[in-house]
Structure 1
Amino acid sequence: MKNNKFNTLNDKEWLRLTGIKKSTFNKMLDILQVAEIEKFKKGGKTNKLSLENRLLMTLSYWQEYQTYFHLGKNFGISEANCYRNIKWIEDILIKNSDFQQLAGKKSTNKWLF
């Protein structure tokens, strides 16, 4: 991950921040990277946020129940873009057999890996 302030977190701090282990985060990131490559084969604009930050934003939304408005302000994007990014990540992860249990879940606490 490019953001150094998150690289310095130990495993326990990472779990407290995101609600998931680093290995689960990396697994999610791998799935999303493949999906993003497929998405851009059809064309389109690159996203303002890195994939890592979009996943962190989604995990923050699941963990803390912040509004899209607040998340958008924290990550420097509009409320609508925040919603679209989180919805896309949720849809991609739910389609994967490893994360199908996300469908209907409101908290990451129930599916810690």
Structure 2
Amino acid sequence: MHVPAKGRASKLSVEDPVLLCLSYWCEYRILFHVATSYGVSKATALRIVRHVEDCLIKSNLFNLPKNLPEGEGID
């Protein structure tokens, strides 16, 4: 089990945050249902998703498009 540097020990294994994110991203599940599946709060699930996204972006192996082609943005 992964033990954080500070705070309480995580209920999740090392792999669970990645699996939680994949189920949120790929299955289009809402955070409430993802959190329930992993036995954490909705706020914790959101924190995990944001942390994994930040790690991916900082790795330079993943990036989001800076400029979307015309007509493909959110109106």
TM-score between both structures, scaled by the size of structure 2: 0.72
Residue deviations 1:25-61, cap 9 Å, x none? xxxxxxxxxxx89x72xx3332211120110010111
Letter in 1 for 2:45: C
Q: Which has the higher helix share?
A: 1
Residue 42 of structure 2 is aligned to residue 79 of structure 1: yes
Identity among equivalent pairs (%): 38
Where 2:43 maps in the other structure, the secondary structure is helix
- Structure of higher CA gyration radius: 2
CA distance in 1, matches of 2:35, 2:60: 29
CA distance in 2, matches of 1:78, 1:71: 9
* Aligned residue pairs, count: 64
Residue deviations 1:50-76, cap 9 Å, x none? 120110010111101111100011111
CA distance in 1, matches of 2:8, 2:55: 18
CA distance in 2, matches of 1:46, 1:95: 25
With a CA cutoff of 8 Å and minimum separation of 6, indicate the structure with the bigger relative contact order: 1
Runs of 4+ in 1 over 3 A off after TM superposition: none
Letter in 1 for 2:50: K
Backbone CA RMSD of aligned residues:
2.1
Q: 1:93 maps to what in 2?
A: 56
- Unaligned segments of structure 1, at least 5 residues: 1-35, 105-113
TM-score between both structures, scaled by the size of structure 1: 0.50
Q: 1:59 maps to what in 2?
A: 22
Letter in 2 for 1:51: V
CA distance in 1, matches of 2:22, 2:42: 16
